[in-house]
Structure 1
Amino acid sequence: MPIDQCLSARPLAPEPANTPMPRRLVGLFACASGLSVANVYYAQPLLDQVAADFAISQAAVGGVITATQVGSVLALLLIVPLGDQMDRRSLMLMQIAALIGALFCVGMTHSPTVMLVSMLAIGLMGTAMTQGLIAYAATACLPQERGRVVGTVQGGVVIGLLLSRLAAGLIADMAGWRWVYLGAALVMVALAVTLCRSLVSQRPSTPPMPYPKLVFSMFTLLKNDRVLQIRGMLALFIFAVLSIFWSALVFLLTSPPYSFSHTTIGTFGLVGVVGALAAARAGVLADKGLGQWTTGLSLALLILAWLMLALTPWSILWLVLGVVVLDLGAQAIHVTNQSMIFSTSTGSHSRVVGCYMLFYAVGSGLGALASTTLYTLYGWTGVCALGASVSLAALVFWRLTLKATQST
C-alpha cells in the first residue's frame, strides 16, 4: 500500500477518548514498540561479522553502536517533540517508512560510509517510533488506566530489547548478518500496514509553535516540571545500574570457569523477560496511587539483586535469580516513572518522554563506562559493589525527594 494512500485511509479502530482502550490495541502498541526498539540493538552481537564483511578493525566497528546511539539521542531532541505539533499517526507512518529504507540500506550496502549513515538513521527512527508509540498510547487511553497501558507498552519495549540480541544471533548463524536487517525491514513493512489500518488520527492539543521554539521548550519543561526532574534522575540511576550489569556480564561469562559462548550469554536476556513482564503490573499500582510505595520497594529490590549477583562465583543460580530481581525492580520503577510524568503533563507527552529518555541515555552511557573500568581494576566484585552503591544512592535520593512528589 503506497504511503500516501495509507495516510489518507480511514482507520478501523474507534477513538478511545471516553472508553477504555481495547486490549487488542494495547497489545498492538506493545508489539509495535518492541519491534521498533529491537532495530536499534540488533547490531550488538553482529559486530564481529560486520567487521569481517567490511574489512574494518574490531576497534573501528564499535562506531556502528556509536552511530545508533547518536541517532537515538538526536531522535529524543529533534524528532520525538514533533508529536506535540503533528498528527502522531501520520508522523509515525512517515518515520516507519524511513526506518524501512534504512534497514534495507544496511542489508544491501557494501560501503562502510553508507552503512554508518544508515545505522544512524535506524537509531534515529527506531527510537522516535518507540517513544512516539508510548506517547500515543498514553494520550489515547483514559487517565485512570494510563499506568496499566503504559506499563504494558513498556513491557513490550523491554522484551523487544532483550530478545533483539538473541534473534539477531540466531538469524546471523542461519543466513548471515545481512538477513537480520533485511528480515527486520520486511517485518516493519507488515507493521506499517497494521498501524495504518488500526490507528486513528491524534491531533495535537497545543498551539502551533516554530520548530526551534518546540525543541527549546523541552529545556523549559525540564526547568519547571519538578516531577520530571525527580523521576528523570531516578531513571538515570536505574539505567546506570542496568548498564553496569549488562556491560560487565560478557567479560565474566566468557572467562573461566564459565567460558560460555555468545549465544549462551544472549539467552540470559530471556531470564530478564520474566522480570519485565512482572514489572508491567507496577502501572496498575500507580493508577491506584501507590507509585511511591512501588518505587521504594523496587529500589530495595535493586540492592537485594546486587547481593545475589555478588554470589555468582559460588553458583550460577544466583546470577539467574539476580537478573530476574534486577530487571523486576528497574522496570517497575521505569513504568512508575512514566505513569507519573504523563499524569502531570497535558499536551506535551512527546516532549516529556523525550526529556525523560535523555536521562536514560546519560545513565546508560555513564554506567557502561564505569562498569568496564571497575571490572578491569577489581573484577566482578568491584562491579557488584558499584551497582549496589548506585542502587543505594537512588534509594537515598528517592527518600530525600519524597515530599516533593508526595501527591503523585
Structure 2
Amino acid sequence: MTTTPTRTTALRGPVVLLFAVVTAVAAGTLYFGQPLVEEIRADLGVSEQAVSITIALTQIGYVVGLLLLVPLGDRVDRRKALGVLLGLLALAQVGVALAPSLVLLDIAVVLVGLTACVAQLTVATAANMAPEQTRGRVVGTVMSGLLLGILLARTVAGWIGEWGGWRAVYFVGAGLVLVTGAAALRVVPRSKPLVTGSYRALLASIGALVRDLPVLRVRAALGFALFGGFSVLWTPLGFLLSAEPYGYSTAVIGSFGLIGAGGAAAAMVAGRITDRFGPVVLTLVTTTVLVLAWAPLLLGGTHLWALIVGILVLDLAAMGLHITNQSEIYALDPAARSRLTAAYMATYFLGGVVGSAVAGLAWTHGGWGAVCAVGAGFGVLAVLLGLLAVRMRRRALSR
C-alpha cells in the first residue's frame, strides 16, 4: 500500500469541543439499553437472559465496527465517512425504537454498535487535523467527550425512559446524532485518501502494523489492562450498592455515573501534561494509581466516602493513561491513524469484556473483596506494561 503526506491545521476551541460532543453522543448510544432492560423485557415479553444477550450484541457490533469500518478513515474522504456513519447510526437507533420483536431488535442493536464506531473515527479525525505540539490536548478534549458519553448515557437513558418509555430514548438519541453530526460536518474539511490499495489489503495492514510497531503492541496491552480494571469496578458496582449497608434504588445507583464523569476532566489535563512533559511521567504515575485506587475502593465496601474517592481516582488514572496511549500511537504513523485506532481500541474493549466476565465471577464467589483483588491485579499488569513502555521509549530516544 502507498501513503500520502498528511496536513495539519490549528483547531479552534469551539471546533474541538464540537468534536467532543459528537464523540459523546455516538459513544453514549452503546450504553442506552443497560438501564432499560426491564422495560424492554416487559414490552417484548421475553426473558431476562434474552435481553442480556441483546445488550451484549451492541458491544459485539462495536468491536466489529472498530476492526472493519474505522480503518476506512485512512482510505476514503474522512468527511464523507463521518457523514455516512452518523446517518446510519441515526437510522439504526430509529430501527431500535420501532422494533416490534426481539429478532428485529437484535439486528438493530448490532447495527447501532457497528456504526457507533464513528466515535473513534471522530477522535482520529481530530488527531489528524491537529498539529503535533497540541495533539495531546486536542485528543484529550475529544476523548473527554467519549468518557462522558459512556458514563452519562445510563443516567440520561434512565431519565428519558422514565418520562417517555424505552423507545423514546432511541428516538432522542437519533435526533442528537443528526443535529450534532450535521454541525460537525460543517467544520470537517474534505480529505484525500492517506493510503491506496484494496480494502482487503487495508485490513491486512492492521496486522502488519501490530507486527512491526512494538509501541503499538505495548500501548494496546496497556489499554487492555486499564479498561479491564475499569470494567472490574463498574460491572458489579450495582450489586454492591443494592445490598447492605447501602440498599440504594436503581435510580440512585445509576446516578453514580455522575461521580465517574468527574474523570472526564482528566482527559484535558492529561493531554496538556503529555504535550508539556511527555508520556513517561504520565505513564508511570497513572499506572501506579491504577493499583493504589483499589485501597479506598476496598474500604468502599462499607464506607461511602471511600467508595466515591476510589471511583474518582480510578477514573482519573484510567483516562489519563488512555490519553497518553493514544497520543503515543497517533505519533507512530500519521497516514495510519484510523488503523492504529482500530488495533488499539479493539484490544482496549477486549480488556473490558474480560474484566466484566472476571468481575462477575469474583463477586459471585468472593464478594467485594475478591472484586477489588482482581481490579488491583489488572493495575499491577498495567504497572509492568507501563515500565516496559517507558523503557522502550527511553531506548528509542538514546539511539
TM-score by length of 2: 0.95
Cα deviations across residues 346-404 of structure 1 (Å, max 9, x unaligned)? 20000000000011121001101110101111100011111112201211222234321
Pairing 1:382–2:382 present: no
Matches within 5 A, 1:96-115: 96-115=86-105
Q: Which residue of 1 aligns with 2:324?
A: 336
Pairing 1:79–2:61 present: no
Q: 1:250 aligns with which of 234, 238, 241?
A: 238
> Residues 48 and 142 (structure 1 numbering): CA distance in 2 closer, same or farther, change over 3 Å?
same
Q: 1:190 aligns with which of 166, 179, 192?
A: 179
**Following TM superposition, by how much is the alpha carbon of 1:314 offset from its aligned partner in structure 2, in angstroms?**
3.5
**Is this contact kept in 2: 1:279–1:329, CA < 8 A?**
no
- Distance in 1 (alpha carbons) for counterparts of 2:263 and 2:199: 39
- Distance in 2 (alpha carbons) for counterparts of 1:369 and 1:343: 33
Q: Which residue of 1 aligns with 2:149?
A: 160
**Following TM superposition, by how much is the alpha carbon of 1:19 offset from its aligned partner in structure 2, in angstroms?**
4.5
Structure 1: 4+ residue segments shifted above 6 A: none
Q: Which residue of 2 aligns with 1:7?
A: none
**Following TM superposition, by how much is the alpha carbon of 1:171 offset from its aligned partner in structure 2, in angstroms?**
0.5
**Following TM superposition, by how much is the alpha carbon of 1:157 offset from its aligned partner in structure 2, in angstroms?**
0.4
Q: Which residue of 2 aligns with 1:360?
A: 348
- Distance in 2 (alpha carbons) for counterparts of 1:29 and 1:77: 22
Q: Report the AA paired with residue 157 of structure 2.
A: A
**Following TM superposition, by how much is the alpha carbon of 1:295 offset from its aligned partner in structure 2, in angstroms?**
0.9
Q: Report the AA paired with residue 362 of structure 1.
A: L
**Following TM superposition, by how much is the alpha carbon of 1:289 offset from its aligned partner in structure 2, in angstroms?**
4.1
> Residues 32 and 315 (structure 1 numbering): CA distance in 2 closer, same or farther, change over 3 Å?
same
Q: Which residue of 2 aligns with 1:322?
A: 310
- Distance in 2 (alpha carbons) for counterparts of 1:366 and 1:18: 37
Q: 1:126 aligns with which of 110, 116, 125?
A: 116
- Distance in 2 (alpha carbons) for counterparts of 1:211 and 1:17: 23
1:86 counterpart SS class: coil
User: Any unmatched runs of 5+ in structure 1?
Assistant: 1-15
Q: Report the AA paired with residue 41 of structure 1.
A: Y
**Following TM superposition, by how much is the alpha carbon of 1:317 offset from its aligned partner in structure 2, in angstroms?**
0.4
Q: Which residue of 2 aligns with 1:178?
A: 167
Q: Which residue of 1 aligns with 2:254?
A: 266
**Is this contact kept in 1: 2:283–2:321, CA < 8 A?**
yes
Q: Report the AA paired with residue 124 of structure 1.
A: L
Matches within 5 A, 1:197-212: 197-206=186-195, 208-212=196-200
Cα deviations across residues 292-345 of structure 1 (Å, max 9, x unaligned)? 110111111112210000001341000000000000000000000000000111
User: Any unmatched runs of 5+ in structure 2?
Assistant: 1-5
Q: Report the AA paired with residue 166 of structure 1.
A: T
Q: 1:145 aligns with which of 108, 114, 134?
A: 134
**Following TM superposition, by how much is the alpha carbon of 1:288 offset from its aligned partner in structure 2, in angstroms?**
2.4
**Is this contact kept in 2: 1:41–1:164, CA < 8 A?**
yes
- Distance in 2 (alpha carbons) for counterparts of 1:401 and 1:313: 34
Across the aligned residues of Structure 1 and Structure 2, the Cα RMSD in angstroms comes to 1.4
Q: Report the AA paired with residue 45 of structure 1.
A: P
Cα deviations across residues 183-237 of structure 1 (Å, max 9, x unaligned)? 111111212321232221122222x111111111111111111111110000000
**Following TM superposition, by how much is the alpha carbon of 1:64 offset from its aligned partner in structure 2, in angstroms?**
1.4
**Following TM superposition, by how much is the alpha carbon of 1:148 offset from its aligned partner in structure 2, in angstroms?**
0.4
**Following TM superposition, by how much is the alpha carbon of 1:17 offset from its aligned partner in structure 2, in angstroms?**
4.9
- Distance in 1 (alpha carbons) for counterparts of 2:88 and 2:200: 23
Q: Report the AA paired with residue 158 of structure 1.
A: L
- Distance in 2 (alpha carbons) for counterparts of 1:402 and 1:120: 38
**Following TM superposition, by how much is the alpha carbon of 1:18 offset from its aligned partner in structure 2, in angstroms?**
5.8
Q: Which residue of 1 aligns with 2:357?
A: 369
